[in-house]
Chain A
Amino acid sequence: MRWIRRNLVVIAGLLTLAYMILPNIVVMVFSFNKPNGRFNYSWQRFSLDAWKDPCGVADMCESLSLSLQLAAWATVGALVLGTMIAFALVRYRFRARGAINSLIFLPMAMPEVVMAASLLTLFLNMGIELGFWTVLIAHIMFCLSFVVTAVKARVMSMDPRLEEAARDLYAGPVQTFLRVTLPIAAPGIAAGALLAFALSFDDFIITNFNAGSTVTFPMFVWGSAQRGTPVQINVIGTAMFVLAVLMVVAGQIITNRRKKTATA
C-alpha cells in the first residue's frame, strides 16, 4: 500500500502515457500484419509485404504527395501572414486592434463542419473551381489563427529595446529584422509552423467539402475505409509517427548540446 501511495504520481503518469501511445502502437503493429481479405482489423501473421511496397495501393502515394504539398504551402502561407499579423498586434496601436485580436480566434472556435459548408457556399457563389487552390486557401485560413497565437506569445516576451539596440549599432531595417527580430522570434515561428503543418496534413472535414475531385491523404483513407483498408495506410502512419518522434528527439539533443557547450 505504502509503495503504491509513494509512486501514485508515476503510475498515473505512465497510465496516461500508455493511453496516449497505445493507438499509435496498434497502428505500428498492424503495419506488419498480413490480413485475410480486404480489412486490416484482426491480427493474422507477421509480414513485411506492405513495408516492401508502400506505394502498392493505387492512388495512395499520389494523395500522400498532394497532402504533403498542401501542408507545406499552407504552412508557408500561414507563417508569412501570421507572423506579420502577430507583430502588428503586439507592436502597433491602431483602430480595431482589439476586435482583430478576438476575431483571429474565430476559426479555432467555429465548428469545423460549419466553416467547411460556409466556405463551400462562398466558393460556389464566386464561381471558383474546387480543387487544390480552394483547399489551400481554406487551410491557410484555419492555420492562421494557430500561427498568430504561437508567434504572438513569443513577440510579446521580446524586448523592443533589442531592435533599438540593433538600429543603434548600424543595422538598417532589413538587417535588424534578419539579424535580431527573426532569430529571436524563431522559436515561436517554428512552433506555429509545426502546428500549421500538422493541422493541414490532418484535416479532413474542410478539405472534403472544398476539394472537388482532388483527393488528399485523409480523404483517401476515408474512402478506402468503405471498401477495405490496405496495410500500406498503417505503413504511412507509422513512418509519420517515427519521423515526428525522431524530429523531437533530435531537437532535444541539439538544445541540450548547445546548453552544454555554452556552460563549458
Chain B
Amino acid sequence: MTDNNTGGDVRLTGISKAYGSFTAVHPLDLTVPQGSFFALLGASGCGKTTTLRMIAGLEDPSTGTIFLGDKDVTDLPPYKRPVNTVFQSYALFPHMDISENIAFGLRRRGIKSVKKQVDDMLELVQLGDKAHHKPHQLSGGQQQRVAVARALINHPQVLLLDEPLGALDLKLRRQMQLELKRIQTEVGITFVHVTHDQEEAMTMADQVAVMNGGRVEQLGAPADLYENPQTTFVANFLGTSNLIEAEVLETGSSGGDVLVTAGGGKLRVPGARCTSAVRQGGKVLVGVRPEKISLAHADDAGSIADGRNRVTGRIADSSFIGVSTQYVVNSPAGAELQVYEQNIERDTRLVPGAEVVLHWNPAHTFGLDAAQDIDAGVETVEDAG
C-alpha cells in the first residue's frame, strides 16, 4: 500500500485486446481512483472480464499500458503485480484447508509467521471456526468469503473481483454485497468489481463504467449514470427507461427548453440534458424514467398542473408489487410505456383499458441522439438475471 493519496490510481491507457480477428476490448482509457469501489458493468461478452484480467496480468493486452500508481506493470507477470483477484468460481485450492488457502500468498512471498495474519483475516470474514475445513466443506457464501480473505491478506494495491457473487442465490447475494462494501470501507483498498448485475453495481460502487461491445459507454457515479444516461444502451441497461421518438419543433434559447412533438403531443426537454446538438426538424429520443411519471385518469386531466409534460394513452397492463404498482401504457407517442406508481392513494379506476394521462416534470426528461438503436441494452429473456 502506498501512503500517497493520489499515487495509487490504476490507469489504463489505450488498453485493447484482440483474439485473432475478434476484438474483445477496443482501446480504452480508464482511471480508477485509489481507495474507490469501482464497478465494470456490462452484459456477458462486453469485455469487462478481459479488462479485469489484463489488470491482473492473466491476459496480455494487445496494445496500451497499465499503470499502478507511477509504476508501469504492463509487462509484469501476475505473480509480480501487487494486485489480487477473487475469481468467479473462487478457485480455492481443494487440497489445502482454509487457513492454508488464506496463507498461500504470504508463504509464496517468504513470510514465515503467518498465523496471526491468517487468524485476523478469518476474523474479518467471520470464519474463525472453519480454519481447518477443506473448501468443499463450506457453503458457497463461505467459500466466497475465503476467496476474499485469501486475496486481501496480501494487502494488494488493488483487489479485482470477477463476478464474485454470480454463483450465490439472491438473498445471499444481497448480504454479501453489504459485506463486501463493509470490508472495502474497513481496509480502504481499491476494489475493481466486474458484474453484469446493474443493481449490484449501483449498490456497491462509487464509480461505474458501463461497458458494451468492448467499449466504455459511460462512466460516472451510479446516481449520475441513472439520471443522465448518455446513450440508449445506458438508459436501458441501468434500470428501465421510456424512450420516445420525437421531432424537434423549437430548439429554444441556449440552456432553455427544447420543444419536441411525439404522437401529436408536445413535450419539453431541458436543452442542457440533450446529449447531441438538436436542430429544428431533426429527430431526438426523449427519455424519462418510469418512477418519474405520474398517472392520472383521463377524467381528471384538467387538474394536472400547467407546465408538465403530458402523454395520453390507455393502460395495457398493471401489476401490483407491494410498494408500487407497475403500469404498461400504450400511447400514440410510444408503445408500452412503463410507469411505476407508489401505492400511497390508489386510484381504483386505473385498471387495464382505462384512458389515462401520463404527466411529469419536464426537468426529469433527457434527450438522446436519435441515430442509435432505441432498444440497445434492453434485457432479453435469454440473458436476464
> Which bracket fits the contact residues of A?
10 to 19
Known contacts A168-B84, A262-B134; A161/B91 CB under 8 A = yes
Asked whether any CB of chain A lies closer than 8 Å to the CB of B109, the reply is: yes
Give min CB distance, B100 to chain A, whole Å: 10
Known contacts A183-B95, A184-B94; A169/B154 CB under 8 A = yes
Neighbour of B91 across the interface among A159, A175, A263, CB < 8 A: A159
Interface string of B39-77 (1 = CB under 8 A from A): 000000000000000001110000000000000000001
Asked whether any CB of chain B lies closer than 8 Å to the CB of A162, the reply is: yes
- Give chain B residues whose Cβ lies under 8 Å from the Cβ of A175: 108
Known contacts A161-B91, A183-B95, A184-B94; A168/B85 CB under 8 A = yes
State the CA gap A162–B96 with chains docked (Å).
Answer: 12
- Give chain A residues whose Cβ lies under 8 Å from the Cβ of B77: 167, 172
State the CA gap A148–B58 with chains docked (Å).
Answer: 28
Quick check: A167 and B137 within 8 Å, CB to CB?
Answer: no
Please classify the interface of chain A as helix (H, G, I), strand (E, B), loop, or mixed, using the class held by over half of its residues.
Answer: helix
- Give chain B residues whose Cβ lies under 8 Å from the Cβ of A262: 97, 132-134, 137
Asked whether any CB of chain B lies closer than 8 Å to the CB of A76, the reply is: no
Quick check: B109 and A170 within 8 Å, CB to CB?
Answer: yes
Interface string of B75-97 (1 = CB under 8 A from A): 00111100111010101111101
Quick check: B91 and A171 within 8 Å, CB to CB?
Answer: no
Q: Across the two chains, which residue of chain A brings its CB closest to B104?
A: A169
Residues of A119-170 contacting chain B, CB below 8 A: 159, 161-162, 164-170
State the CA gap A166–B105 with chains docked (Å).
Answer: 8
Quick check: B89 and A164 within 8 Å, CB to CB?
Answer: no
Quick check: B134 and A172 within 8 Å, CB to CB?
Answer: no
Give min CB distance, B173 to chain A, whole Å: 20
State the CA gap A171–B151 with chains docked (Å).
Answer: 13
Known contacts A161-B89, A262-B134, A262-B137; A166/B58 CB under 8 A = no
Give min CB distance, A186 to chain B, whole Å: 8
Number of interface residues of B (CB under 8 A): 29
Asked whether any CB of chain A lies closer than 8 Å to the CB of B297, the reply is: no
Q: Across the two chains, which residue of chain A brings its CB closest to B108?
A: A170
Give min CB distance, A1 to chain B, whole Å: 46
- Give chain A residues whose Cβ lies under 8 Å from the Cβ of B132: 262
- Give chain A residues whose Cβ lies under 8 Å from the Cβ of B91: 159, 161-162, 164-165
Give min CB distance, A163 to chain B, whole Å: 9
Asked whether any CB of chain B lies closer than 8 Å to the CB of A195, the reply is: no
Q: Across the two chains, which residue of chain A brings its CB closest to B59?
A: A164
Asked whether any CB of chain A lies closer than 8 Å to the CB of B145, the reply is: no
Neighbour of A169 across the interface among B89, B97, B108, CB < 8 A: B108
Quick check: A164 and B105 within 8 Å, CB to CB?
Answer: no
Quick check: B93 and A168 within 8 Å, CB to CB?
Answer: no
- Give chain A residues whose Cβ lies under 8 Å from the Cβ of B193: none
Neighbour of A170 across the interface among B79, B89, B94, B134, CB < 8 A: B79
Asked whether any CB of chain A lies closer than 8 Å to the CB of B289, the reply is: no
Quick check: B58 and A168 within 8 Å, CB to CB?
Answer: yes
Q: Across the two chains, which residue of chain B brings its CB closest to A175?
A: B108
- Give chain A residues whose Cβ lies under 8 Å from the Cβ of B314: none
Asked whether any CB of chain A lies closer than 8 Å to the CB of B273, the reply is: no
State the CA gap A51–B109 with chains docked (Å).
Answer: 56
Interface string of B129-173 (1 = CB under 8 A from A): 000111001000000000000110010000000000000000000
Asked whether any CB of chain B lies closer than 8 Å to the CB of A28, the reply is: no
Residue of B57, B78, B134 ringed by the most chain A CB atoms within 10 A? B78
Asked whether any CB of chain B lies closer than 8 Å to the CB of A221, the reply is: no
Quick check: A172 and B79 within 8 Å, CB to CB?
Answer: yes
State the CA gap A137–B104 with chains docked (Å).
Answer: 41
Neighbour of B87 across the interface among A164, A180, A184, CB < 8 A: A164
Neighbour of A165 across the interface among B83, B93, B134, CB < 8 A: B93
Quick check: B56 and A168 within 8 Å, CB to CB?
Answer: yes
Known contacts A175-B108, A180-B93, A183-B95; A167/B87 CB under 8 A = no
Give min CB distance, B101 to chain A, whole Å: 9
Residue of A164, A167, A169 ringed by the most chain B CB atoms within 10 A? A169
Neighbour of A166 across the interface among B83, B104, B154, CB < 8 A: B104
Residues of A60-101 contacting chain B, CB below 8 A: none
Q: Across the two chains, which residue of chain A brings its CB closest to B103?
A: A169
- Give chain A residues whose Cβ lies under 8 Å from the Cβ of B105: 169-170
Give min CB distance, B79 to chain A, whole Å: 5
Some 28 contacts from A to B, beta carbons below 8 A apart, are: A159-B91, A161-B91, A162-B91, A162-B93, A164-B78, A164-B91, A165-B93, A166-B93, A168-B56, A168-B57, A168-B58, A169-B108, A169-B150, A169-B151, A169-B154, A170-B80, A170-B105, A170-B108, A170-B154, A171-B104, A175-B108, A179-B108, A183-B95, A184-B95, A262-B97, A262-B132, A262-B134, A263-B137
Interface residue ranges, A against B (CB under 8 Å)? 159, 161-162, 164-172, 175, 179-180, 183-184, 262-263
The 4 A-B residue pairs whose C-beta atoms are closest, nearest first, are A165-B91, A169-B105, A161-B91, A170-B108
Q: Could you list 20 further interchain pairs (A-B, Cβ under 8 angstroms) beyond the known A164-B87, A169-B150, A170-B80?
A: A161-B87, A161-B89, A161-B91, A164-B58, A164-B78, A165-B87, A165-B93, A166-B93, A167-B77, A167-B78, A167-B79, A168-B58, A169-B84, A169-B108, A170-B109, A171-B104, A172-B79, A179-B104, A262-B132, A263-B137
